[in-house]
Structure 1
Amino acid sequence: MQRQWFVTLQNLPAAGRAWDVEVPKKLLQDSDFGVVDVVAGLCGDVYWSLLLERQGDLFHLTGQWRAEMPRQCSRCNAAFNWQVIGQTERQFQLGPEPVNEEGDSGCEYIAAPGEVNLVDVLREDIWLAWKADVICSETCKGLCQGCGNNLNTGVCKCEQDDSDHPFAALRNLKLDG
């Protein structure tokens, strides 16, 4: 296993630790590395900027990542590479989870020495950023509902007969102005 992707919270320097790395696609798709399901369908490596700091008893992990995945547009059904940017925000605390704690503190409790698999954290963040419906661009025109043509790459081939449309009579209206 690649130990560079594990961090032990008890061994964290007082100044904290920062990463600015490309996480290999091959590692994120390796089912033998970590417990979180692998991320399938990445176009390439994932860029990740990360900071781990200690504040009292809490360890704060924050950062930003950027990935690219092949997807189908929800409007025009064309294949494209979806650019996704996500945030990493975690809080860890060493020791067992308190039994009488009221509410959800948003903190993950880890037994000492507090080993965290950063690849699992990134995999989880990518899964949480997944959207069911994505579009190839904000200007995507989609498909014609009549003929099914992709309106981004061609024109509608429908023979439009809207003479029975309720507002068709307005076309013949002459306005003096």
Structure 2
Amino acid sequence: MQRQWLVTLQNLPAAGRSWDIDVPRRVLQDEQFGSVNVVSDLCGDVHWNVSLEHTGQLYRLCGEWRAVIARECSRCNAAFSWQVTGQTERQFQLGREPVDDESGVDCEYIAPPGEVNLVDVLREDIWLAWKADVICSETCKGLCQGCGSNLNSEACKCKRDESDHPFAALRNLKLDG
């Protein structure tokens, strides 16, 4: 079943190849397939629209993907579904990397016949798009720093005693006006 995700560059048709596919979550989470770490918190399949073209000695893989990943909000710690999109941009070349490559072309060199694991490419792209801090919404109020209440769903339970606040004495100041 996993063989469908392996592409041999030397066997690529002259017109190239395109995919507009939902990559099953179970494939991306299969530890037995590929060498890039699995993305374990996927909420569903990942949609991937990608094409592979052959120009000269370069093989260019480009497209875009979108996924939904279970995360925790950095402000309120609530679980939410993070919707993320990303780009796939890779160039491959068959053979060994030249010793003094001054061409300026950024590509991965692969020994012939040039087998590329598309699942590994997609996993890599998802990890590269990963953000350490994500929030559930732009309007997230976060947690109360005093009592720890989630301010999005409940009122603060703190009893604030601001008598020792450095500016508390200003409250009693009478201004003539």
Query: Is the structural similarity TM-score above 0.5?
Result: yes
SS in 1 for 2:37: coil
For residues 175 and 104 of structure 1, do their structure 2 counterparts lie closer, same or farther at Cα, with a shift above 3 Å needed?
A: farther
SS in 2 for 1:80: strand
For residues 173 and 89 of structure 1, do their structure 2 counterparts lie closer, same or farther at Cα, with a shift above 3 Å needed?
A: farther
1:34 corresponds to: 34
2:100 corresponds to: 100
Amino acid at match of 2:138: E
1:63 corresponds to: 63
Single out whichever of 111-120 and 142-151 deviates more from structure 2: 111-120
1:48 corresponds to: 48
Unaligned runs of 5+ in 1: none
1:140 corresponds to: 140
1:15 corresponds to: 15
What's the TM-score, normalizing by structure 1? 0.89
**Aligned partners of 1:173 and 1:69: how far apart in 2?**
56
Are 1:116 and 2:116 matched, yes or no?
Answer: yes
**Aligned partners of 1:169 and 1:74: how far apart in 2?**
36
Amino acid at match of 1:76: C
SS in 2 for 1:88: strand
**Aligned partners of 2:126 and 2:17: how far apart in 1?**
22
**Aligned partners of 2:2 and 2:99: how far apart in 1?**
35
Q: CA deviation at 1:134?
A: 1.3
**Aligned partners of 1:14 and 1:81: how far apart in 2?**
40
SS in 2 for 1:50: strand
Amino acid at match of 2:147: C
SS in 1 for 2:127: helix
**Aligned partners of 2:69 and 2:89: how far apart in 1?**
22
How many residue pairs match? The answer is: 176
SS in 1 for 2:125: helix
Unaligned runs of 5+ in 2: none
Q: Matched residues, percent identical?
A: 72
Q: CA deviation at 1:20?
A: 0.5
